[in-house]
Amino acid sequence: MCGIVGAIAQRNVTGILLEGLKRLEYRGYDSAGIAVLDRASGAIACTRRSGKVAELENALAAEPLDGTIGIAHTRWATHGKPEERNAHPHVASSRIAVVHNGIIENFEQLKADLQAKGHQFASDTDTEVIAHLVYDQLQQGVAFPAAVKATIAQLHGAYALAIMDREQPGLLMAARMGSPLVLGVGIGEHFIASDPLALLQVTDQFIYLDEGDLAEVTLDGVVVRDRAGETASHPVQRFEHGQDAADKGEYRHYMLKEIYEQPAVVEAVLEGRLGSDKVYEEAFGAEARAVFDRVKAVQIIACGTSYHAGLIAKYWIEELVGIPCQVEVASEYRYRKTVALPDSLFVTISQSGETADTLAALREAKESGFLACLTICNVPGSSLVRESDLALMTNAGPEIGVASTKAFTSQLVALLLTTLVLGRRHGLDPAVESELVGCLRGLPALFTQVLALDEPIKALSEQFADKNHSLFLGRGAMYPVAMEGALKLKEISYIHAEAYPAGELKHGPLALVDKEMPVIVVAPNNSLLEKLKANMQEVSARGGELFVFADKDAGMVAEEGLQLLPVPESHTLLDPLVYTLPLQLLSYHVAVLKGTDVDQPRNLAKSVTVE
Ligand code: F6R
């Protein structure tokens, strides 16, 4: 998704802006650009390129920019093709330069009005109207900050904005509504970004803007006003993640690095949240106890991988807590008439905390009679965290690979903690809680054992690289694990992958099975194992090739048409976590063999902040 960086300093800011764009690359984009006020002439100097930030970097190496104030952007096309002329910054009458994340819903009407007044447009974007609206105000004698304020009052939709005026070389304006934006605080220099990660090379001090905020950013400081125009005093917060989070280190790809970080991530999710035999409910916030005391049902909402985490949690909640749990994708939920069960807890799950559909569903839910809203989220200060009553941070650290790995397992751990806290109120045997707390403590070591399967999985992956289709099977809570495995394979290797609850095979998908379609099965030694084995027979009988990830005690043997990969044994309830890692590794190695862009798969973006 789009990324914004802005800077005002006493030095040339081009390098800072470029580095910021590189750090935002993981979000997905199709073009990039930078505008500065040229130090020599005072004019706006703007360089834009379609494609990778490296293209922009090459252009800047050939023709460097030099300015102490500037804005920059990586674009993910929404209005207009991914071409240079649609790349940001957009400049009106050589005076106003704008970068924008989000969508302006009424841009066509605004554009028509501006064109009627004689404004000439150079792009197909919604963003360009913003530059012209500000310029239009300036022409009417309005000062720059007031011109921005009057402009955003006309915008319907979502935006994060950084705006520069050629005639105000000491001032950047920033505005936020529906799309995240932070201000970075330095010594005698200040910054703007859509994600703090973009600025970690220059500061770790951030001010998180609220919806409706408008900020004046100068060398000496920032002034933030809320939507009522009152001065807002947001605290300066220290960014907590390590500075090296955006560094691949010894790994070839961020995805592999993040797969390998999972033992440490589990420790981070558990840190400070476990007593000797129980989960501390205080971890969920001051009001948690009063809320949890009343919960009689759970509604989970999320998208993509986070949705799969929710599906697994449903099995846990209904089994251990014994209350109804419904799970739905946010993009469906937000647009239908829904009924909240009495005393129902609304739970959102999100890595980024900014997913537009999930956020919209939360906003709907707040009007729909839920008891309270809890978010399971990885980004402190994100919109979901700020707008929910309760939040449990997953502490996975920034996830750069577009395909979610460590964020998913951290969500699962957080959801298991939530299940245990709720279970306690619904008669869950304290011995069971204590046993699971012990298992959670052992999970980092178990994950390390599972990661040792990397080499055999790599060898296995060679049999997938020439395939076009695949089927993933699981039963019970392992069905959503199969769904997540299929999603990982399709998004990074572009192999068509479908997941089915294995019992459904005979109701249709069996017709697809032949030698060319690998069938991947997740088969822990649980109460459904015998049923699953019968389903595997259905595949074998039709000449299908089975690739089975199974417990060594599952009593399976490798044979013609059945390849076996033994997975370390764990508590049944932890199997979804343990079996996820081999499937992540399988997708990764298949993608590497196929030579795809593992960290930035085609057509995808990391943080989906538009609908
Ligand atoms: C897939 C993936 C996506 C996200 C989805 C929701 O690997 O990462 O499916 O899970 O876009 O994003 P968040 O969790 O940020 O709400």
How far apart are the C-alpha atoms of 557 and 522, rounded to whole Å? 15
Q: How many residues does the chain have?
A: 611
pLDDT at 105: 82
The mean pLDDT of 463-486, rounded to a whole number, is: 96
Report which protein residue has its CA nearest ligand 1's atom 3: 304
In three-state form (DSSP H/G/I as H, E/B as E, the rest C), the secondary structure along 342-404 is CCEEEEEEECCCCCHHHHHHHHHHCCCCCCEEEEEECCCCCHHHHHCCEEEECCCCCCCCCCC
Cα(605) to ligand 1 centroid in Å equals 9
Beta-bridge partners for 159: 102, 178
CA angle 374, 158, 49 (to 5 degrees): 120
The predicted structure's pLDDT at residue 27: 60
Catalytic residue among 22, 314, 488, 606: 606
Give the per-residue pLDDT at 604: 81
C-alpha 411 – ligand 1 centre gap (Å): 11
Q: pLDDT, tens digit, for every residue of 16-50? A: 999 999 998 766 578 999 999 999 999 999 999 99
Q: 501 preceded by cis ω (within 30°)? A: no
The two three-digit tokens of residue 531, written as one number: 């049923």
> CB under 6 Å to ligand 1: residues?
303-306, 350-352, 355, 358, 403-404, 487, 491, 607-608
Mean pLDDT (whole number) for 250-269: 94
Q: Is-catalytic flag, 606?
A: yes
Q: Is the pLDDT of residue 243 over 50?
A: no
Closest C-alpha to 435, from 320, 348, 594, 304: 320
Q: For residues 447-475, give the mean pLDDT.
A: 96
- Residue 160's alpha-carbon distances to 130, 180, 182, 400, 561, in angstroms, are 12, 6, 10, 21, 54
Mean pLDDT of the chain: 93
Strands (E), 200-339: 205-208, 214-217, 222-225, 231-232, 237-238, 297-302, 325-329
Report which ligand 1 atom has the smallest distance to the Cα of 384.
16
Determine the distance separating the centroid of ligand 1 and the alpha carbon of 588, expressed in angstroms.
17
Q: Which of 421, 309, 419, 294 lies closest to 358 in space, CA to CA?
A: 309
Distance CA 587, CA 526 (A): 25
User: 480 preceded by cis ω (within 30°)?
Assistant: no
Tokens describing residue 141: 């004698």
C-alpha to C-alpha distance for 480 and 473, rounded to whole angstroms: 9
Nearest in space to 50 (alpha carbons), one of 117, 123, 137: 123
- Looking at 2, 303, 325, 377, which residue is catalytic? 2
* Residue from 56, 121, 131 nearest 95 by CA: 131
C-alpha angle 257/524/318, rounded to 5°? 95
pLDDT tens per residue, range 373-415: 999 999 877 899 889 999 898 989 889 998 999 999 999 999 9
Q: How far apart are CA 74 and CA 198, in angstroms?
A: 11
Q: What pLDDT, on the 0 to 100 scale, is given for residue 283?
A: 75
Rounded Cα distance between 305 and 327, Å, is 13
**Type of residue at 562:** L
H helical segments located in 25-166 = 53-62, 107-116, 128-139, 144-152
Q: Are strands 496-501 and 44-50 parallel, antiparallel or unpaired?
A: unpaired
The rounded radius of gyration (Å) of the Cα atoms in the chain is 26
Dist. CA 325 → ligand 1 center (Å) = 21
* Angstrom distance (rounded) from CA 82 to CA 73: 13
**Helix, coil or strand: residue 476:** coil
Cβ neighbours, 10 Å, residue 603? 9
Between the CA of 389 and the centroid of ligand 1 the distance, in Å, is 22
Q: How many whole angstroms from 355 Cα to the centroid of ligand 1? A: 8
pLDDT, mean of residues 298-313: 98
Query: Among 284, 265, 260, which residue's Cα sits nearest to residue 273?
Result: 284
Q: How far is CA 120 from the centre of its chain?
A: 37
Q: What atom in ligand 1 is closest to the CA of residue 303?
A: 6
Counting from 1 in the atom list of ligand 1, the atom nearest the Cα of 607 is 15
Atom from ligand 1 closest to the CA of residue 305: 10
Told to judge if 552 belongs to the known catalytic residues of this protein, a careful annotator would answer no
Q: What is the pLDDT of residue 246?
A: 63
**How far, rounded to the nearest angstrom, does the alpha carbon of residue 508 sit from its chain's CA centroid?**
34
Instruction: Of 394, 425, 393, 448, give the one whose Cα is nearest residue 278.
Output: 425
Residue 244 confidence class, pLDDT cut points 50, 70, 90: low
What is the average per-residue pLDDT within 289-301?
95
Residue type present at position 535: N
Contact by Cβ (8 Å): 515, 469: no
Both tokens assigned to 239: 């960014």
pLDDT at 274 over 90: no
117 secondary structure, DSSP code: T
pLDDT > 90? residue 464? yes
Collapsing DSSP to helix, strand or coil, 301 comes out as strand
How confident is the model at residue 28, as a pLDDT? Answer: 57
Under a CB-based contact definition with an 8 Å cutoff, are residues 130 and 123 in contact?
no
The pick from 608, 609, 611 for probing ligand 1's pocket by mutation, whose C-beta has the most ligand atoms within 8 angstroms, reads: 608
Q: What angle do CA 29, 35, 40 make, to 5 degrees?
A: 155
Asked whether 69 and 170 are in contact (CB, 8 A), the reply is yes
Task: Give the pLDDT band (50/70/90) at residue 555.
Answer: confident
The residues, ordered by sequence, that sit 6+ positions from 140 with a Cβ below 8 Å of its Cβ are none
